[in-house]
Structure 1
Amino acid sequence: MQNRMCFDDVAWEQSETVSDTWVAELFETDTLRAIGDFMVKHRRGVPTELCQPRAGAFNVSFRMKFEDGGSALIRFPKPGATMFPEEKMKNEVAVIRYIQENTSIPVPFILHWGTKSESPLGLGPFILMEYIDHATDLSTALNTPTLGGEDRPILDPSINIDKLEMLYGQMADILTQLSQLSLPRIGSLAQIDDFTWEARHRPLTIGMNELVRLGTLPRSTLPTTTFEMTSSYFDALAELHLQHLSHQRNDAVNSANDCRRKFVARQLFSKLAREGRLNASANDYGPFKIWCDDLRPSNILINEGLQIVGVIDWEFTYAAPVEYTHAAPWWLLLEQPEYWPDGIEAWEKTFESRLQTFLKVLIEREETAIQQGRLSPDQRLSGPMRQSWTNGDFWITYAARKNFAFDAIFWKKLDPLFFGSSTVAEEHRWEQRIELLSEEERQCMEQVVSQKLEQRQKRTLAWEPEEVDAFEACRPVA
């Protein structure tokens, strides 16, 4: 039984081809020279070395060293991997400056930024920032030493508890500061003036990027506005789950019953959203909290003394429902529950013990902050975080955000939470729950099943034309 939605492999292959080819062209001598000259123009000092580019999941970065001992970093989004490059870049600039102004979280200092038309050789929108000198990242410090670079990271089960508490404690400080930032709408930030930011744009999420890239979802199906209510936002996310199943061309289902199982889960989740049962907060109208989809240990830079010196990659950050902030951080084990080698139940058991450690140090940090006047007692994060884990809200927000993990989470966690325990095996529980669907929804289900089985007969790329043409549009200008 396919427990979760797989990526569309045809779209994934195309995405990788576009990204890899574009990255390879960056090594052309003229391209490197243009990038280097551009960086020197916007960062004072005598340059000494342009380092080899480094490619991450969504971006490629170049570091230029200077005679004064400092460095600058310019970052471009990767075509094929980043589906909304201009929007992503503008959002990140605004939120970095917002966090810099309102917290003590160490974020990169932005020297210059611009659109594709303003970039060297038209490579793409860019951010030029001061490089944060560091020894390693938090993920490496927490990772199991026997795992190689090609392996997915997993928290070292034998890690020294004092080391773990010290690193968790620093992350607790960061989460506490972010939890104190509130905005009146759900959305991505725009800087109005030197001291004012507003959630003026739709919340651009990693999920939206991946739905277009690997779920072949048309852009027209995505949210286009901000949200003033948590319930309406959850309703929009539930609709995206339905659209995902409908539009993903390949690898979406492996049988007729697998399709029915996925359809029933999404319809029930949508029903819960419409009834306002997914949001736990008493105040549906906020305030809303700053949330970063990509805040995880690999984006936390530390020095040789294991002290955090920088937090990077804020591109998918927005004002979100407070339920997101109240959920325990999934990255305590480094690995996501849907990818845990022994399954979600094993992940949950291991996570439970590490969560207790995190909550312990979080409470200690909160006490210190209260004594120093930096936090009021009613701003504590530890209580809501513990409650979210205990009452299952953690899994609601996780399922809402994670399109490709949705099926595994829904049937293991949300179905029993909302519809009661069952003696029926998990893979057949949809047959029991189908009675909760209307006759119209059941008819729609059979239409989707027919569509999905027909699509399985022939594999083809289902990206929209603007996605297919992305590579040619992003080639360096000769």
Structure 2
Amino acid sequence: MTVFDGLAETDGDDEFKAWLSKLLDARLEIIAFVASQRQGSPTGEYEGLLKGSFNLSFIIRFGDGGPKAVIRFPKPGHIATAFRDEKVRNEAQFLRCLSEKTTTPVPRVVTWGTTEDSPQQVGPFIIMDYIDGTSLATILKQPTKTDQDEVILATDVDGTKLDYIFEQLADYIPQLSQLDFTTIEAIERPLTYNMNELATVVLSYPTSGFPTVPFTSTKRNLANDREDVKKRFIARHRFKQLISRYCLDDSGPFKPYCDDLQPANMLVNPETLRITAVLDFEFTNTMPAQFAYDPPWWLLLLGPDIWLERHTMEKFMTRYVPRMERVEARTNPDGSQSNLLLSDRMRDPWATRRFWFDYGIRKSFDIDAVYWAALHKDGDDVLDEEMRDEMEELVDLKMEQLKAYKAEYEVRFYPRDWIQM
């Protein structure tokens, strides 16, 4: 995986910390605001805090004994500030679409609003019903000792337990692929998980208007050394050549796709394993249909990109393929023709390696690892003279940029050491 820009990450963390202080100072006003949205305006009381990668939520209980509520705010610095209102608008409206057109269990949206609508203008928000449950990832993961340990599917997970979970998901997920749209977009312009990553961990990434032509530059710390630059250059050029092979249909219809649909964002009843809620649809877009038909990337909980970085392709395949086959079996347990079509659609991208192309093209920070592990063929690293010259120019440029990045990093984070040098 390509490392993030440490300077941009720190700027984002600093922005989040400053906002968090403002949010906590406004807590009483926020609680009263949530209570005012309830019929009869009962008294509200703070019950707890929910912390996620992109959102922070207050749990509110009410004096009338009615169901609890959650007010959720996107975290500035972890969600690009320019995207926060847009993100909330997208998710609130997509949740409404899901509740109307599918049986997927999603929280009921009480109301939502922009930064301007919020108490003390702390940020855009969604107020939803609170839903009890335990993260599905917690139920399925290998026991860990610390929060920093890998979240990975337990090797001894009960097969019957998995089958029941997959049967539920095999009902919910295909319903998304049955919704057709004529354009690629969110509610307005596309806003993907990857776009937000670029905007939060790359300095000076444009947020008012996304680039519509190929990038002419990369972040300064893209590569660690000269050989790393060469491998990334080859990977990107060869990946581009795969587009004609793996992009099936540019004309639609397009299907809803959420990059972050995974067990960590699903709640289950820990006793019955019934899925009680599917959460976090903030980066849902209507996308090429082939994404919706890929086998789920999250079957081992840990993403394929991390597997390729920390383990091996062989180890990934050994663990992943049996789980994928189990999903296929649960997708079509009765042999019906409609479900058989879905099962076949899942099998084809795996057999043709389109699964890896689709995964890499959605995740720009992981495209190199995906290309070299799954899509590279012997001889593809041989370049003609013109390409070699272009590559050598890029190598020199990236080494100069890396030197400048490291110098700025040292001055910012180790100023005394830099002065002594």
Distance, in Å, in 2 between the alignment partners of 1:8 and 1:405 is 15
Give the letter aligned to residue 92 of structure 2: V
2:184–2:285 CA contact under 8 A, matched in 1: yes
The 3 A distance-change label for structure 1 pair 326 and 217 is farther
1:300 to partner: Cα distance: 0.7
Matched, 1:33 2:28: yes
TM-score, normalization: structure 2? Answer: 0.89
Query: Are 2:246 and 2:357, in contact at CA under 8 Å, matched by a contact in 1?
Result: yes
1:59 match: 55
Aligned to 1:310: 277
| Residue number in structure 1 paired with 2:290 | 323
Which of 171, 174, 190 is the matching residue for 2:172?
174
- Name 1:203's counterpart in structure 2: 190
Cα offset for 1:443? 4.4
- Name which of 271, 290, 300 aligns with 2:266: 300
Pair 1:221–1:396, CA change in 2 (3 A): farther
What is residue 218 of structure 1 aligned with on the other side?
A: 205
Which of 386, 391, 405 is matched with 2:366 structurally? Answer: 405
Q: State the AA in 1 paired with 2:246.
A: L
What is the number of equivalent residue pairs in this alignment?
A: 401
Question: Which residue pairs with 1:94 in the alignment?
Answer: 93
CA shift in 2, pair 1:186/1:326, >3 Å: same
Q: Which amino acid aligns with 2:229?
A: C
> Aligned ranges for residues 274-353 of structure 1 at < 5 Å?
276-279=244-247, 281=248, 283-303=249-269, 304-340=271-307, 341-353=310-322
Q: Pick from 198, 217, 239: which aligns with 1:269? A: 239
Q: How far apart, in 2, do the equivalents of 1:248 and 1:154 lie? A: 30
Partner deviation per Cα, 1:210-266 (whole Å, 9 max, x = no partner): 0121133621696478xxxxxxxxxx7xx4xx55xx33123x111122112212211
SS at match of 1:113: strand
Specify the alignment match of 2:411 in structure 1. Answer: none
Shift of 1:89: 0.9
Letter in 1 for 2:206: R
- Match of 1:456, SS? helix
Q: What corresponds to 1:389 in structure 2?
A: 350
Percent identity reads 35
2:332 matched residue in structure 1: 363
Q: Which 10-residue stretch deviates more, 307-316 or 4-13?
A: 4-13
Choose which of 17, 38, 43 in structure 1 pairs with 2:38. Answer: 43
CA distance in 1, matches of 2:20, 2:129: 22
Letter of the 1:218 partner, please give it: Y
SS in 2 for 1:106: coil
Report the CA distance shift for 1:221/1:388 in structure 2 as closer, same or farther (over 3 A): farther
Q: What amino acid sits opposite 1:135 in the alignment?
A: G
Alpha-carbon offset, residue 54 of structure 1: 2.1
1:350-408 Cα shifts (integer Å, max 9, x gaps): 101111111111112x75xx6xxxxx728831111011111101001001011111111
Aligned residue number for residue 147 of structure 2: 149
* Secondary structure in structure 2 of the residue aligned to 1:290: strand
2: distance between equivalents of 1:444 and 1:47? 67
Which residue in the other structure is 1:354 paired with?
A: 323
Paired residue secondary structure (1:98)? helix
Query: What is the alpha-carbon distance in structure 2 between the residues aligned to residue 297 and residue 378 of structure 1?
Result: 22
Query: Secondary structure at 2:403's aligned position in 1?
Result: coil
Task: Name the structure 1 match of 2:391.
Answer: 445
1:267 deviation in Å?
1.9
Q: Is the 8 A contact 1:395 1:409 kept in 2?
A: yes
The 4+ residue runs of structure 1 with deviation greater than 3 A are 146-150, 220-225, 441-447
Contact 2:331 2:339 in 1 (8 A): no
Read off the aligned partner of 2:290 and give its amino acid letter: E
**How far apart, CA to CA, are the structure 1 residues paired with 2:93 and 2:28?**
29
Q: Is the 8 A contact 1:183 1:287 kept in 2?
A: yes
CA distance in structure 2 between the aligned counterparts of 1:35 and 1:288, rounded to whole angstroms? 39
Query: Counterpart in 1 of 2:418?
Result: none
In structure 1, how many angstroms separate the alpha carbons of the residues matched to 2:148 and 2:370? 26
In structure 1, what is the Cα distance between the partners aligned to 2:204 and 2:372? 24
Task: Name the counterpart of 2:219.
Answer: 248
When normalised by structure 1's length, the TM-score is: 0.79
Matched, 1:260 2:230: yes
Report SS of the residue matched to 1:79: coil
Q: Which residue of 2 aligns with 1:114?
A: 113
* Cα contact 1:187–1:318 (8 A) shared by 2: yes
Kept after mapping to 1: 8 A contact 2:23/2:122: no
1:21 is matched by which residue type in structure 2? A
Residue in structure 2 matched with residue 192 of structure 1 by the alignment:
none
Code of the residue aligned with 1:216 in structure 2: it is L
Distance 1:379 1:38 in 2: 49
Say if 1:217 and 1:258 are closer, same or farther in 2 by CA, change over 3 A.
Answer: farther
> Aligned partner of 1:58: which letter?
F
Deviations 1:411-470, CA, capped at 9 Å, x for gaps:
121222xxxx35xxxxxx73x2x23xx72x5444334323221122233799xxxxxxxx
Supply the AA of the counterpart residue of 1:77: P
Q: Which runs of 5+ in 2 are unaligned?
A: 409-421
Whether the 8 Å contact between 1:81 and 1:213 is mirrored in structure 2 is yes
> What residue number does 2:417 align with?
none
Contact kept, 8 Å, 2:32 with 2:43, in 1: the verdict is: no
Q: Do the aligned partners of 2:16 and 2:77 also contact (CA within 8 Å) in 1? A: yes
Alpha-carbon distance in structure 1 between the residues aligned to 2:189 and 2:24: 35
Contact 2:22 2:122 in 1 (8 A): no
Confirm or deny: 8 A CA contact 2:31 2:45 kept in the other structure.
no
Gaps of 5+ in 1: 190-200, 226-235, 371-375, 423-428, 463-478
Q: Secondary structure at the match of 1:100?
A: helix
Instruction: Kindly indicate whether the alpha-carbon contact (under 8 Å) linking 1:136 and 1:302 is maintained by their aligned counterparts in 2.
Output: yes
Do the aligned residues in 1 keep the contact of 2:133 with 2:276 (CA within 8 Å)?
no
Does the Cα contact within 8 Å between 1:333 and 1:351 map onto a contact in 2?
A: yes
**Could you report, residue by residue, the CA deviation over 1:304-347 in whole angstroms, capped at 9, with x for unpaired residues?**
31101111111000111111011110111000122224233311
Q: Hey, what's the Cα distance between the residues in 1 that align with 2:29 and 2:397?
A: 49
Distance of aligned partners of 1:56 and 1:378 in 2 relative to their CA distance in 1, 3 Å threshold: closer
